[in-house]
Amino acid sequence: MSAQIEFFFDIGSPYSYLAATQLDALGQRLGTPIWWRPFLLGGVFKAVGNQPPAMLPARGRYMLRDLNRWAARYQVSFSFPSTFPLNTLLPMRALTALEPDRCSQAALTLFNAYWVDDQDLTRPDVIADLIGEEAVRMAVDPDTKALLRATTDDAIERGAFGAPTIFVGDEMFFGNDRLDFVEALMAAQAST
């Protein structure tokens, strides 16, 4: 039996958005579910001494062209939001509060709201309208906060330095452009 695919992501990461748009099809091709694991990219950056690509002017200019190229390749909508970077603490806690089987659809809804429709995901009312009031209420629960922190710590301990980070067992892949490597590894494991 092949290892499980874990998708560590943050709504504020444009490359997480791009990868997220491809995961349903990937899971269907592989015949395996994907475990969506919300984490705090800011916490990862702080722990490992990394910084967002957009904070470096030359890389930031390149990143926008690169994101548009990937969106065109994936044939998905993409619009750089008016508020970037986004404080993702509330949306990531809200996603963490959901049952795991609801996380992927809710995350796709939030990704689309931010990266396509330019909605302000720092506002509790916006998140409540998109994924439900209960998720927003539970976002302040100590257990939800602890779970998000634990998931972030888990990713860091396993080697994550940015988003998206994907694990197949102990094998780590970084970025939306590594999905073909994930698929190849899963296919190789299935054939053995």
Give helix then strand counts, H and E, for the chain. 9, 4
Percent of the chain with pLDDT over 90: 88
User: Considering the entire predicted model, what is its pTM?
Assistant: 0.95
What sign does the CA torsion over 37, 43, 46, 50 have? positive
Least confident window among 35-39, 67-71, 123-127, 187-191: 187-191
Q: How far apart are CA 23 and CA 8, in angstroms?
A: 12
pLDDT value at residue 82: 95
* Cα separation values, 107 from 50, 114, 119, 150, Å: 24, 11, 14, 19
147-174: pLDDT as tens digits: 999 999 999 999 999 999 999 999 999 9
* Per-chain mean pLDDT for the chain: 94
pLDDT at 75 over 70: yes
| Of the candidates 98, 93, 87, the residue with the CA atom closest to the CA atom of residue 140 | 93
135-147: pLDDT as tens digits: 999 999 999 999 9
φ and ψ of 12, to 5 deg: -80, 0
Stronger pLDDT, 61 or 45, i.e. the higher one = 45
pLDDT at 1 over 50: no
pLDDT value at residue 190: 86
77-98: pLDDT as tens digits: 999 999 999 999 999 999 999 9
pLDDT at 6 over 50: yes
